[in-house]
Chain A
């Protein structure tokens, strides 16, 4: 059987721009018209390189004495390299990948795969709208108005679309596929998670009488953002999950620390107004009540703190 070798010219994003079918085993590459594959790149020599099989049968590319030579995927220059069909070689400024007919390709991807995302998207979207509606309903103290409910949902939906589009573009650039549906699913999950976290925090503060709990709400927001970013990065390529988790987690930790530092006084220091603003139905309370002695003992204990605060930033 006649040997077939494919010369593929790739873009910087590793997408195939053009593909040349060559009958092996010897292929010449260069700018001149005497070559089998002509590259219109001023940095390519008229007769730049040739591809052949060595005695072991491996595909080899060899420089034919060009000025710029061959640059391998690790950035090193070579005059001769073994081709594995995966790593492109840079000739001039052109990325070239060479594969033979035996190069394996992934199995056919069924339509079902992508289609399966839509029901989950629908489910998540419904869950989000339903939960927002429920929470808003539970807080509704005036006559119900559709706009009152719809406005925040539409705002969030708009933000979701912007976020998703941005990540889909990034994914498209780096992986070749936009994965819009998958990109939409990630922030949907994140926002649903944050919304639930927020409810748990708000109600938990009442249930256990932890008045300062709502102050840490921002940590939940950062966690949701970090988890979403990690999932988006995983979507682009599943490689190096530990490194990505480390970077995203580190950035999140810095953000949380910065915000904590910025709000330190408000959260824990003298500026904390620190009482529970949002009450829940009395039957939700789990914290045991205190008696008057305990309550006023705590109140009396604040005196020293106030006296210290009094002398801070005193203007004379």
Chain B
């Protein structure tokens, strides 16, 4: 159906031909799925245990790769592969990487351990060190917003990494060489050379733009400066981009580590509750920032529509005007998606705001046909996992609306679903369709993920009241 296509476009944000190098919301969900589905491919591959570096090489005759060789050699004993084991099968369900930071503790991504955190009865965690040593892991602390976790090993006899002071002070220059370490696709540990490119623009959370090829399995591994100190944590890549990857800044890892030091091992259920608390706290701050930054009125056809002033939205537009055969009504859509997605579980992401406005202008359709055309744009989007593992079924309420003031008559649709594991978090959709005639119409959509219900109502109400006739 045509309508599906339009909504899908709204979801997948940037069409391929636009070649914009920012993670789009459609791809972000894939972007974050790093550690997932990295099943062991071949037993023999990547088991090469031979020394790959010559630490004592003379600096004078240094070949270009000498720095990387030395970094790798020094980093080797401080690296871990982190495996999420399906307990019932005794085999890995997903893999990631991690790095030691002292006191028998290591840092990795939250998403690497998310299956264990969300379903502790189904999964267990295990680490494999470069020397072949392996053992169990305890999750001490998680930071869902920054996708980090601190894990504790069963023994503490290995060297560890230090954080780069320049990275902590945020004074690294763009263009600096960084070396990322991790075990991509379970092929064995690898060192990946790339460039530091500052912080990602238009992102709610702080992320470093790292120009290198990160692959599934290296999540949670460190990105090091030339002197072998931690600058960031490998977290994601842009699926559609080439060599566009992301790091969590080192300072976030150090902050979480400071919280975790000396902390007793929390019970699995406490961890999950903590994730819920963090999400609630996160969305409070997020929607507060969203509300405080405010919205402005933008003219769109005969209407005025709201647009967020928050800097962390990616906004695009598309049209059906060029389609062949020529469409009988034109649809121009402008849509904005917040770059704020949170990974909660491999099949549950949250934290985004979608806003879009579609302006329809009738060509030669009669009243009924135009209404049918309009109907195609009224489907919800992003309700793919209806009534799934993590969310309740979507429930809706709709009615005709007459707002006091300079507003066009509307048909309003309100839909919501609750998160099963977390009390007080919801996904909410609101659609407003103007009902002022058959020559033009406006379909405005608002979707809020992982929001508190009252916040959703106040944000949606403000959004709705900003849909007006053009002054």
Contact = CB atoms under 8 A, between A and B. Distances in A.
Interface stretch (B140-148, B177-185, B405-413): B405-413
B329 A141 contact: yes
A25 interface: no
A282 B435 contact: yes
Interface stretch (A67-75, A81-89, A155-163, A273-281): A273-281
Contacts of A195: none
Contacts of B461: 292, 296
A282 B415 contact: no
Q: Which of B365, B376, B411 has the most CB of A within 10 A?
A: B411
A281 B433 CA distance: 12
Contacts of B465: 292
Given A281-B438, A282-B438, A306 B372 contact: no
B369 A291 contact: no
Contacts of A306: 392, 395, 416-418, 426, 453
Contact of A274 (B374, B396, B404, B460): B396
B402 A291 contact: yes
Contact of B399 (A142, A143, A273, A290): A290
A122 to B, nearest CB: 28
A270 interface: yes
A289 B409 CA distance: 8
Interface residues of A, number: 48
Nearest to A274: B396
Given A140-B369, A295-B399, A310 B379 contact: no
Contacts of A314: 420
Interface residue SS majority, chain A: loop
Nearest to A276: B398
Interface string B445-461: 00000000110010011
Interface residues of B, number: 60
Given A138-B372, A141-B369, A309-B392, A295 B416 contact: no
Contacts of A303: 416, 453
A137 B398 CA distance: 27
A295 B396 contact: no
Interface in B366-401: 366-376, 378-380, 387, 389, 392-401
Contacts of A141: 2, 328-329, 365, 369, 372-373, 376
B437 interface: yes
A315 interface: yes
A302 interface: yes
A285 interface: yes
B397 A139 contact: no
Contacts of B411: 276, 279
Interface string A280-302: 11110101111110111011101
A248 B95 CA distance: 62
A211 interface: yes
B313 interface: no
B399 A278 contact: no
A312 interface: yes
B176 interface: no
B420 A285 contact: no
Nearest to B408: A282
Nearest to B122: A315
A271 interface: yes
B335 interface: no
Contacts of A290: 399-402
B321 interface: no
Contacts of B379: 277
Given A143-B325, A272-B396, 4 more contacts: A271-B393, A282-B438, A287-B400, A315-B420
7 contacts: A209-B399, A273-B380, A274-B395, A277-B379, A279-B375, A279-B411, A285-B435
